[in-house]
Structure 1
């Protein structure tokens, strides 16, 4: 009898502990849970408003569209978590797209093109990171300038025209191929996301990134080379944007210097909406995934409803504004 009573008490305590753990987890992740609820509500709304939203073809199309955004959003999460920002990712994406088509047209092998394009993105990111980290120039100014001159480079090498990619090019697999029935872009996006989650939460680098955003001077005094950490973060951002440009060029079958306009704002909006602190010190890859999906679903749903693209741009601007306001209310304004 006593043993039964003890067992019942133990089970009750275990259930109470589990309940407390769930409550603590819910409080800690309240912003992610709230935006996930918003995603569900938006998805349900479009499912009711248009018959084609929940079709398999539209789901596949949405996945293909979101993959490049998610790849760049993962890298942008690291950048914003350090207290920085990267406005050049759209231009680097365009440069990568243009380089891909031009190099293939020049007869370069697919593996060489992949390597050169990714290296070009990393180079652009390293220039941003070096100036931000080693010359203490505000990242807003540095990456705004890069947004202009990198786009200029893309226009220069293409002459402002789209450059076609041969239909038999092996590179097309990157954008439209599948592996075990899963689109290759989705596999790449998931891989980058998993790497990002592990790096941000379970490595020293991720700890340094978060620490720099919260209190860079304290991290520096603890013996960490904060300049190198920031440099690597911007290199990651440039490389991710280049990979996204490769995927888009492969999917469209052409490279263009005119793609990626306003792309950086969509990414920043998604990351901030997802719960990464706009002024640094807190970042979440899962939140960025949800943020990217929300913006993608809104864009996709309104397009299916044949809403004017001008109205869609207005909606995206409002979403960005709301995301910034909520983010500042949740995390507070960073003290200078």
Structure 2
């Protein structure tokens, strides 16, 4: 007797081929759809100048989202990155205005960001406080320090030093911020996929107690993850100040939400245990393309956030309801 064909077999075969990459595949499809739609809607979207501008503007998001992928993979969260970006950027502008050498400003900004991350990591890993509460507190404290130091004013910087090249320079025709973000993404991908540190990060998000019993110092790994997050936010602050030509305490407002959205949109599990740098890249670029495309088609800025939020909800729905292997197995 001939065996009856299962009508769901093609769908299951697709899921088997995609495996754990179903979420990344879904955001890749969504990203391509957005790019194609904006390409037909406006003649300027696919121009070289516009695409390079998208890369330049999205560089801080890509840099910090890479580190945030590690944080969320451990089951944590870092809400202080936007405030760290603002404080580092403002202090960098003040230091440059005072005549401090560009190299000292660069190293100092990275160290300050790492210090803020270390404070977060200490309270989370050693004091046992929830990451949400700790980083929410440092968000307020750090933003307040930035406001206190700048008194709410923007601090301009000179354009004659090499520091501004971090935000405005080019390397082989590619904007320097994009080059830095690509290097950061590659380092994050290598660490997560091919280093023992990356396996520890995934293990902590899956079963922290089991990792601890295997002899791993969970506290130190957690501390390192938050230090990386703070340093990435500091680097983003330096690049933002260099690109805009000024430092301000108002920079990075809502930045942490965009970063978290990019990571989760890229199918990193918000509750830990699974992270993907490729997905984060696609998630961040999707957010950047949406913002850029809506401006090019002259959508009112009053509607931009509504449309972006609705589209991101649709993308996440596609991820969880259509491309999810778990849902496929239940079907």
TM-score of the superposition, structure 1-length normalised? Answer: 0.89
Equivalent residues of 1:272, 1:327 under 8 A apart: no
Residue among 191, 199, 221 paired with 2:191:
199
Q: Cα gap change, 1:301/1:226 in structure 2, threshold over 3 Å: closer, same or farther?
A: same
Query: How big is the shift at 1:310?
Result: 2.4
Local SS of the residue matching 1:217: helix
Equivalent residues of 1:67, 1:189 under 8 A apart: yes
Partner of 2:71: 79
Q: Cα gap change, 1:140/1:321 in structure 2, threshold over 3 Å: closer, same or farther?
A: farther
Partner of 2:125: 133
Q: Cα gap change, 1:87/1:324 in structure 2, threshold over 3 Å: closer, same or farther?
A: farther
For residues 216 and 187 of structure 2, the distance between their equivalents in structure 1, rounded to whole angstroms, comes to 22
Once the two structures are superposed, residues 42-101 of structure 1 have per-residue CA deviations (whole angstroms, 9 ceiling, x without a partner) of 101011111211111111110101111100000000000000011111111111110110
Query: How big is the shift at 1:213?
Result: 0.3
Residue among 59, 62, 65 paired with 2:51:
59
Partner of 1:237: 229
Equivalent residues of 2:26, 2:319 under 8 A apart: no
Equivalent residues of 1:277, 1:327 under 8 A apart: no
For residues 93 and 137 of structure 1, the distance between their equivalents in structure 2, rounded to whole angstroms, comes to 23
Equivalent residues of 1:79, 1:85 under 8 A apart: yes
Query: How big is the shift at 1:304?
Result: 1.2
Local SS of the residue matching 1:224: coil
Q: List aligned pairs for 1:46-125, cutoff 5 A.
A: 46-125=38-117
Q: Cα gap change, 1:230/1:243 in structure 2, threshold over 3 Å: closer, same or farther?
A: same
Partner of 1:37: 29
Query: How big is the shift at 1:271?
Result: 0.4
Equivalent residues of 2:84, 2:142 under 8 A apart: yes
Query: How big is the shift at 1:276?
Result: 0.4
Equivalent residues of 1:277, 1:331 under 8 A apart: no
Q: Cα gap change, 1:40/1:322 in structure 2, threshold over 3 Å: closer, same or farther?
A: closer
Partner of 2:220: 228
Query: How big is the shift at 1:23?
Result: 8.0
Residue among 131, 149, 161 paired with 1:157:
149
Equivalent residues of 1:278, 1:324 under 8 A apart: no
TM-score of the superposition, structure 2-length normalised? Answer: 0.90
For residues 243 and 279 of structure 1, the distance between their equivalents in structure 2, rounded to whole angstroms, comes to 26
Query: How big is the shift at 1:317?
Result: 3.0
Query: How big is the shift at 1:320?
Result: 5.1
Residue among 261, 266, 269 paired with 1:269:
261
Q: Can you give the 5+ residue segments of structure 1 that lack an aligned partner in the other structure?
A: 1-20
Once the two structures are superposed, residues 254-277 of structure 1 have per-residue CA deviations (whole angstroms, 9 ceiling, x without a partner) of 111101111111110110010100
Equivalent residues of 1:69, 1:267 under 8 A apart: yes
Local SS of the residue matching 1:29: helix
State how many pairs are aligned. Answer: 312
Question: After the TM superposition, which of the residue ranges 130-139 and 180-189 deviates more from structure 2?
Answer: 180-189
Residue 288 (structure 1) aligned with residue 280 (structure 2) = yes
For residues 255 and 104 of structure 2, the distance between their equivalents in structure 1, rounded to whole angstroms, comes to 26
Equivalent residues of 2:116, 2:227 under 8 A apart: yes
For residues 95 and 275 of structure 1, the distance between their equivalents in structure 2, rounded to whole angstroms, comes to 30
Partner of 1:10: none
Query: How big is the shift at 1:178?
Result: 1.1
Q: Which has the higher contact order (CA 8 A, sep 6+)?
A: 2
Q: List aligned pairs for 1:206-225, cutoff 5 A.
A: 206-225=198-217
For residues 311 and 84 of structure 2, the distance between their equivalents in structure 1, rounded to whole angstroms, comes to 24
Partner of 2:8: none
